[in-house]
Structure 1
Amino acid sequence: MRSLGIAGSGLACCLVIGCGVTIPHDPDGALDRITGTTLRVGASPAQGLVRVDGAHVTGPLPDLVDEFAATRDADIEFTVLGEEEIVDALEAGRIDLGIGPMTDESPWTERASQTRGYDTVPGADGRKVVLLLPLGENRFQSALETFLDAEVGP
């Protein structure tokens, strides 16, 4: 078997880029779908991070999500859910993002993608807080993590 070498690898990259594939890629178009429309967020109560009072969701994580949504010209629709319900809703495509008590030790990594852990989020109290996203929506995750890095640090 022959190796493509540097020239062949470059050609392969040009072919992929020429096909209109954006890298990173969102197979279900999450970032494009929320831009200019609605970011659907599942929120689970979390001490110091997410407060739920009836249908009203507040706290440091909802504030960060609201700021991120503003960068995408998107409104936010919060749905109060438990942690497992957030994962189910992400898999079913009913929400775009999950926030709550999840940390970098989350048991949901086979069913949902998670951001890097952020212990600098106000209210994190040393926990490495993560946000959950649908699996494979890498462009959306990259945009969100770039935003979070700028707001609360990597």
Structure 2
Amino acid sequence: MARAHRRTTPRRTRTVVGLVLALLLCVTTGCSWPRDTSGSLDAASGGTLRVGVSVNPPFTTMENGEVGGSESTLVRGYARSIGADVRWRIGAESVLAEEMRNGDLDVVIGGLTSTSPWTDKMALTRPYRTVTAPDGSPVKMVMGAPLGENALLVSLETYLSEHGAQG
């Protein structure tokens, strides 16, 4: 029994040393996780957050030329948290999903749910709130973010986890 322990100890030591070296390599080369492939969070932070809006009361509304609703309130708060101004783009979900896929938007709102059909064009946040549908079933609310822009997605999800249930 002691002999088996001696054989596995060098293997464990090599594994630990390998993990430590990988971590040191990452730290010294400036790796950061999560990472945005196109730098969306860096571009929006201190700049402009480009938000697509599909009108869907009470989540998103359009009154007197102003975007309103609970999700616009959340997005405005998120934009403030990263020092960004918001530029709104109003459109149908299908159009906004295509614009997101093309890299023209940073966030899409409009009462999107976790069963959204647009997952081939945008990443969906984790559900930030559950509401009740007219038929009494629970519906999980999400927002859209660019595919591959993980730092932006994580940043938005963090904000929503702290503020979304109030929205």
By the TM > 0.5 criterion, same fold?
yes
Q: Is the 8 A contact 2:51 2:109 kept in 1?
A: yes
TM-score, L = length of structure 2: 0.82
1:149 to 155, 158, 161: 161
* Equivalent residue pairs, number: 149
CA shift at 1:152, angstroms?
A: 2.7
Which one has a bigger Cα radius of gyration? Answer: 2
2:151 to 123, 139, 144: 139
CA shift at 1:66, angstroms?
A: 0.2
Q: Is the 8 A contact 2:74 2:164 kept in 1?
A: no
2:95: which partner in 1? 85
1:127 to 139, 142, 145: 139
CA shift at 1:10, angstroms?
A: 2.0
The yes-or-no answer on 1:12 pairing with 2:22 is yes
1:144 is aligned with what amino acid? L
When you count helix as a share of all residues, which structure comes out higher?
Answer: 2
C-alpha distance in 1 between matches for 2:122 and 2:16: 35
Task: Classify the secondary structure of the residue corresponding to 2:129.
Answer: coil
Q: Is the 8 A contact 2:123 2:146 kept in 1?
A: yes
Task: Classify the secondary structure of the residue corresponding to 1:147.
Answer: helix
Task: Kindly report which structure 2 residues correspond to 1:56-95, keeping only aligned pairs within 5 A, or say none.
Answer: 56-95=66-105
1:111: which partner in 2? 121
The yes-or-no answer on 1:33 pairing with 2:46 is no
Q: Is the 8 A contact 1:116 1:145 kept in 2?
A: yes
CA shift at 1:118, angstroms?
A: 2.3
1:21 to 11, 28, 31: 31
Cα RMSD after superposing both structures: 1.9
Q: Is the 8 A contact 1:39 1:69 kept in 2?
A: yes
CA shift at 1:54, angstroms?
A: 6.2
2:6: which partner in 1? none
Q: Is the 8 A contact 1:31 1:140 kept in 2?
A: yes
C-alpha distance in 2 between matches for 1:69 and 1:97: 11
Identity %: 34
Superposed CA deviations along residues 97-135 of structure 1, whole A, max 9, x for unmatched, are 100121001112222111011225xxx444211110001
